[in-house]
Structure 1
Amino acid sequence: MSYDFTIIVPVYNEEDNLIRVEQALLDYTKIATRKTKILFVNDGSKDTSQDLIESICNRQTDFNYICFKENRGLSAAIKAGFDYVDTPLVGYIDSDLQTAPEDFNLLLEHIDTYDLVTGVRANRKDSFVKNMSSTIANGIRRAFTHDGMDDTGCPLKVIKTDYAKRIPMFKGLHRFLPAMILLQEGKIIQVPVQHFPRIAGTAKFGLWNRLLGPLMDCFAYLWMKKKYINYTVAKKG
């Protein structure tokens, strides 16, 4: 079966959410504007997530998975997804379902014109501390990258796969995906999407991950920008 779009679903200790994730993504595949399949990336979960993932993939033909030997972090899970994807388009969504799979269709409307389309969470349903720390972190990152994006932490994105595979990932770089597409001279746009409160499981990021960590990552990005190799082949034979 030929697919056009792969949705990566990073998973780390999300046993309480995975049945909901299965149903939400199954419903989305029925209304998706591109032929879609799902790739779970189990980031070394220590609960029953892997057993649930295997059960889901056994009963759903459009679902597949890879499982890490140990926990390596969100950026590593996304990078592994990019490595394994074989469709022209790739996206990802968090397994907490604070964003809605059906909003992928809003992003896909723009992917023929742009190389990355990212959601921006409208009316965020998070705590004051989480919202404020994210707002500050986004402002700092935007000052470093000049990517013009208001919410790079939004876990709903669509990218042309050839661009995604060229991103030299490092830990924390999932917040810099739009900037990394700009380094490839690609085009990016942000689109408002829905946001919902987490109703099961626990958040994997605290104040350090959202604020101080990303500040340090900005300096890593600046180093990478200075050293980044980009070229265009004029002829070959």
Structure 2
Amino acid sequence: MNYDFTIVVPVYNEEDNLLRVETELLAYTKKALKKTKILFVNDGSKDKSQELIELIAHRNPEFSFISFEENRGLSAAIKAGFDYTETPLVGYIDSDLQTAPEDFNLLLQHIGNHELVTGVRANRKDSFVKNMSSTIANGIRRSFTHDGMDDTGCPLKVIKTDYAKRIPMFKGLHRFLPAMILLQNGKIKQIPVQHFPRVAGEAKFGVWNRLLGPLMDCFAYLWMKKKYISYTVAKQG
């Protein structure tokens, strides 16, 4: 089948959420603005996630998967998803489904004139500590990148695949995707999306890696920005 849009779903020990992911993403494919497929990236899960992923992919042609030999982190899972995407558009959503697949349609409405469209979580349903640490981290990151984005940690994004594949990923760079599109002279936009509390499984990030991690990554981003190679071909013969 000719698909236009691939949704990457990073997975790490999410066995309690995967059947709900199957139900909600399958329902989304029936009303998606683009012909949509789903790619699970199993980041070395130690529970029954891989077993469930294979079951879901076996009974639904819209689903496929890749599985890491060992846990490599969220940025690696997202990069692998980009690497294995063959459609013109790629997006991703967390397997905890704290954002709604249906909101991809809000982002897809704007992707024609932009290279990346990201959600910004309205009325976040997280704890006070989690919300505050994310707000501080976003402020720190914004002061380094000047990308104008309020919520780069929002796990709901759509990107033109050729731009996504050119991002030189490193650990933590999933927080800098809009900034990396700007380095390619692409256009970015943020759209308010729904947010829900986690109903199953455990959060993989705490206060420590929401604050210290992003601060350290900001310096890595500045180094990359200084060394980043970007060019435009004016004529070819």
Q: Under a length normalisation based on structure 2, what TM-score does the superposition of the two structures give?
A: 0.99
SS at match of 2:196: coil
**What's the counterpart of residue 91 of structure 2?**
91
Instruction: Give the 5 Å matches for 1:104-115.
Output: 104-115=104-115
Q: Within 2, Cα distance between the matches of 1:198 and 1:56?
A: 21
Q: Within 2, Cα distance between the matches of 1:4 and 1:231?
A: 27
1:109-163: CA deviations, max 9, x gaps? 0000010000000000000000000000000000000000000000000000000
Pairwise CA distance, 1:204: 0.1
**What's the counterpart of residue 165 of structure 1?**
165
**What's the counterpart of residue 218 of structure 1?**
218
Pairwise CA distance, 1:104: 0.0
Pairwise CA distance, 1:234: 2.0
Amino acid at match of 2:231: Y
1:86-123: CA deviations, max 9, x gaps? 00000000000000000000000000001000000000
Amino acid at match of 2:99: T
Q: Within 2, Cα distance between the matches of 1:194 and 1:203?
A: 18
**What's the counterpart of residue 142 of structure 2?**
142
Q: Within 2, Cα distance between the matches of 1:211 and 1:123?
A: 21
Instruction: Give the 5 Å matches for 1:14-93.
Output: 14-93=14-93
Q: Within 1, Cα distance between the matches of 2:2 and 2:22?
A: 21
**What's the counterpart of residue 117 of structure 1?**
117
Q: Within 1, Cα distance between the matches of 2:60 and 2:2?
A: 16
**What's the counterpart of residue 228 of structure 2?**
228
Amino acid at match of 2:167: I
SS at match of 2:216: helix
Q: Within 2, Cα distance between the matches of 1:64 and 1:234?
A: 39
Instruction: Give the 5 Å matches for 1:198-209.
Output: 198-209=198-209
Amino acid at match of 2:180: M
**CA root-mean-square deviation:** 0.5
Pairwise CA distance, 1:23: 0.2
Gaps of 5+ in 2: none
Gaps of 5+ in 1: none
Aligned length: 237
1:33-77: CA deviations, max 9, x gaps? 000000000000000000000000000001000000000000000
SS at match of 1:16: coil
Pairwise CA distance, 1:232: 1.1
